[in-house]
Structure 1
Amino acid sequence: MSMSEIMTLSSSRELVAIVVALGIGLLIGLERERRKGEGPGRSPAGLRTFAVASLAGAISMLIGGKMLLAVVTAGVVVLTAIAYSRSRSDDPGLTSETALVLTVLLGGLATEHAALAAGVAVILTVLLAARPVLHGFVRSVLSEGELKDGLIFAAATLVVLPLLPDQPIGPFGALNLRSIWMLVVLMMAIGAAGHVAMRLLGARGGLAVSGFASGFVSSTATIGAMGARARKLPELAGAAAAGATLSTLATIVQLAAVLAATSVPAFKALLIPLLCAGGAAALYGAVFTVLGLRQTGSADLELGRAFSLPGALLLALTISVVLVLSAGLRQAFGEAGLVVSAAVAGLVDTHAPAAATATLVASGKISTAEAVIPVLAALTANTISKIVVAWTSGGGSFAARLIPGLIVVVAAAWAGAFAPILAHAVFTY
């Protein structure tokens, strides 16, 4: 490449940087101009100020590099502080001032990474323009409990998770703290998603939607709550049964997510049983949803927390115990020990023994075929617990509606597991 071509290429890049920097300043400045206001209380920075600031960042970077950019940015900070101190605004926020400083830096960034600078500028402009929506959401929609749940989830994901070791530890080398905590984070996220669905749909969605959403937090607890509602208001027994059945569908969906996050081969091995169980739960729940809607169009729903932190920690403890117990029993009794431990743990929760079994598959300690029976045993044991809860909480009328559906769901899962084997045997014969 000749010297003239190099100079032409260099000047072309500089021109692109200047154009992108100008576009950044104008984009952010247009939004700020609308918020600037009028009179003595108006903001000191508007369209022209933001455009000039972005150009100043780009030109300083082109002429003097990062050192000059730092000097220019410091100068803008000083000028912004002076303007802020003289402001007579009734709402002396720092949004415009901070955005102005960031605009200078984005102008400098445009000289080296134009696309990245433009993308960040768009995100900044969206945040600035969304002020009424964000403020209204925080003040009017988001509850204090939900805010705490959001902070807990952020801490669990961004603080705790990166600090945990990603290697086998403990008895039999059965524990991987990062994998266990990843499942806890996943459960919290799914619970929060169900909570959001309840917030968006509210009472208009009826007990069926409430049951499905609550099932992501705890299907057994949802069945207990639906049973109590059916006992209190017998005319809602059909709608409550629909919500309880669909909470089991949520369990299947959640179980599939846990398996997929832990071991893709284990998830593939159980895909057909899960599809059969999920399809049975959806069909059975749809029937009672239609019947329930004929009885009542909607019902008052009580919204709680997005997820339970004690429940999440209990899940981590349960998974750890099941992992160690499964490893010990398997070492002593082979595959039969794994099935027994999964079934016992499944009386309390389906996901913990499923995650433990999938972890064994991921670590190469058992095959995918050996993972099917323990997971289905856990699902069956958990179904027995739900049957007991349904009968004790909702009485005979509620149980008579729900229990057949629970039996159909677990039977469909087992049928999905053995149908390929039977079909292969028949065709082979």
Structure 2
Amino acid sequence: MFEPHSLILGFVVALGVGLLIGIDRERKKGEGPGRGAAGLRTFTLASLAGATAAAAGGDFLLAATVLGVAAFAGLSYWHARDSDPGLTTETALVATTLLGGLAVREPGFAAGVGVMVAVLLNARVALHRFVRSMLTDGEMHDLLIFAAATLIVLPLLPDHPIGPYGALNLRTIWLVVILVMGVGALGYIAVRIVGPRFGLPLAGLASGFISSSATIGAMGARAAREPQLLKPAAAGAALSSVATVVQLGLLIGATDLEALKALALPLLFAGATAVVYGGAFILWALRQDRGRVEETAGSAFSLRTALVFAAILAAVLLLAAALQDWMGEAGVILAAGAAGFADTHAPAISVASLVAEGRLAPPAAVIPVLAAFSTNTITKMVFAFSAGGPRFALYVVPGQLLMLAAAWAALLIA
């Protein structure tokens, strides 16, 4: 039995959902003989009918009510199929009836879903324009890959330790792959939305979510080809390190929150230093002739890069587990530092995974992660010298050293 107060709340939510969706449909139904069949009153009544059916007769009566509404929606579609071949309003009417029934049992959830339905209905023009005019075939391909990785592969993977030393959790490793692709795609989308007019600084920040080392190399090569873009390129290189710190925090936090809490101060210090250093270069660079910055092209993310990242992560997990078994915590530091020359994130996540599995105390994760951060900084400085030359490195390297010093200095305060 439903309590009176829960029934009242459910019917209020059902009323609100019906009104919210009905207002959108009323605005789009048109006028005159060719107007749509369902508007504000129809959607509100459908939602209240679903709530009444769920309260009075349970699942059986709700199912009968939904079938009845679906039948009327089908007749409406049949009548208007020549002038309006779409099924949006009819589908929304059935969904509204179901949401009315759901509101009696789960009012909060029904309210949230109702708002999402209303947003989708109201954003029709923007969504159609985005899909037809802005979304490229390559981006659609990337979206399907991301959806398959998230919705198909991830649920099939086992969620328990396997392999030597029980060091590997396939679901955790694949979740990191998804996060790497997702964060890279966010950077790509940022450039697509804002456009190229903000120049190399924004491109560097967005690209840093994929690889800060590679971004510094690319910015150095750009500065070497076009010396007039030296300052904007240096700003992009500096801001790529901001992305590194942000991504590092996101990935460690997704792996283990206790490890993130232990590393919060070093990451905050390093990130703030990168923001200040990069911001100074942005103010300097925005007064320069930014030149032409190419539109974002290619893929939103690299699946190959993500898979290589997963392989590195698995190897580092195995190595760290073996060295910890042989040498204790000193082995973890050694393994993380060696892996940091190639990438900061993989060893950091490996260390956080050890914390999540209870193999390492959260405070003990700080030194290995900073060791990886340090060796990766060496790689970035080498890239700056080799790709951009001494002058580019003169702008970029001090920022990298200041970030590193700030991260280690945080240990003295903690």
TM (norm. structure 2) is 0.88
The residue type equivalent to 1:121 in the other structure is G
Aligned residues of 2:24 and 2:122 also touching (Cα < 8 A): yes
* Separation of aligned partners in 1, 2:19 and 2:276: 55
Is residue 2:392 matched to residue 1:398? Answer: yes
State how far apart, in whole Å, the 1-side matches of 2:403 and 2:157 are. Answer: 37
Alignment of 1:322 with 2:316, yes or no, is yes
Which of residues 45, 65, 84 is equivalent to 2:77?
Answer: 84
Distance in 2 (CA, whole Å) between partners of 1:400 and 1:13 is 67
User: What CA distance in whole angstroms lies between the structure 2 residues aligned with 1:155 and 1:247?
Assistant: 29
User: In the alignment, which residue of structure 2 is the partner of 1:260?
Assistant: 253
Tell me the residue number matched to 1:361: 355
Of residues 366, 372, 385, the one that matches 2:366 is 372
Runs of 5+ consecutive residues of structure 1 not aligned to the other structure? 1-5, 422-429
Residues 14 and 345 of structure 1, relative CA distance in 2, 3 Å threshold: closer
Cα shift readout 1:351-386 (whole Å, capped 9, x = no counterpart): 001111122222232334433332222112212222
* Residue aligned with 1:306, SS: coil
Q: How does 1:221-260 map to 2 (within 5 A)?
A: 221-260=214-253
In the alignment of these two chains, the number of paired residues is 413
SS at match of 1:53: helix
Cα 1:38/1:233, change in 2 over 3 Å: same
Amino acid in structure 2 at the alignment position of 1:108: G
Letter of the structure 1 residue corresponding to residue 242 of structure 2:
L
Please state whether the residue corresponding to 2:80 is helix, strand or coil.
coil
- Is 1:68 paired with 2:70? no
Structure 1 segment 120-199 matched on structure 2, within 5 A: 120-199=113-192
Question: Does the aligned pair in 1 maintain the 2:319–2:335 contact within 8 Å?
Answer: yes
Q: Is the 8 A contact 2:201 2:235 kept in 1?
A: yes
Give the one of 309, 331, 346 matched to 2:303: 309
- In structure 2, what is the Cα distance between the partners aligned to 1:318 and 1:210? 26
Deviations 1:282-338 (A, max 9, x none): 222222222222222564243143322111111111111001011112323333432
1:28 aligned to which of 1, 9, 21: 21
Please give the alpha-carbon distance, in whole angstroms, between the structure 1 residues aligned to 2:69 and 2:118.
20
Cα distance in 2 between the residues matched to 1:268 and 1:48 = 52
SS at match of 1:257: helix
CA distance in 2, matches of 1:151, 1:159: 11
Distance in 2 between residues matched to 1:410 and 1:16, nearest whole Å: 55
Rounded to whole Å, the distance in 2 between the matches of 1:17 and 1:284 is 54
Cα separation, 1, equivalents of 2:300 and 2:263: 29
Structure 1 window deviating more from structure 2 (242-251 vs 99-108): it is 99-108
Q: Determine if contact 1:43/1:89 at 8 Å carries over to the other structure.
A: no
Of residues 347, 351, 357, the one that matches 2:345 is: 351
The alpha carbon displacement at 1:14 in A equals 6.5
Give the aligned partner of residue 329 of structure 2: 335
Task: Provide the identity percentage.
Answer: 54
Whole-angstrom CA distance in 2 between matches of 1:340 and 1:191: 29
**What SS does the aligned partner of 1:348 have?**
coil
1:92 Cα deviation (Å)? 0.7
> What letter corresponds to residue 411 of structure 1 in structure 2?
A
Residue type at the aligned position of 2:226: L
Structure 1 range deviating more: 179-188 or 210-219: 179-188
Alignment check: 8 A CA contact 2:229 2:290 kept: no
- Residue pair 1:202, 1:301 contacting (<8 A) in 2 also: no
1:103 matched residue in structure 2: 96
Q: Which amino acid aligns with 2:270?
A: A
Q: Give the Å deviation of 1:106.
A: 3.0
Look up the equivalent residue of 1:169 and give its one-letter code. Answer: I
User: Kindly tell me: are residues 54 and 378 of structure 1, through their superposed partners in 2, closer, same or farther at Cα, counting changes over 3 Å?
Assistant: closer
| CA drift at 1:55 | 4.2
Aligned residue in 2 for 1:424: none
Q: Who wins on radius of gyration, i.e. which is larger?
A: 1
Contact 2:50 2:97 in 1 (8 A): yes
| 1:25–1:339 distance in 2 versus 1, CA, 3 Å | closer
CA contact (8 A) 2:19 2:40 kept: yes
Distance 2:15 2:344 in 1: 57
How far off is 1:41 after superposition?
Answer: 4.8
Structure 2 equivalent of residue 37 of structure 1: 30
CA contact (8 A) 1:42 1:89 kept: no
Q: CA deviation at 1:348?
A: 1.1
Match for residue 293 of structure 1? 286
Partner amino acid, structure 1, of 2:324: R
CA distance in 2, matches of 1:17, 1:339: 56
**SS of residue paired to 1:150:** helix
**Which amino acid is the alignment partner of residue 348 of structure 1?**
A
Q: 2 CA distance for matches of 1:410 and 1:208?
A: 21
Distance 1:386 1:244 in 2: 10
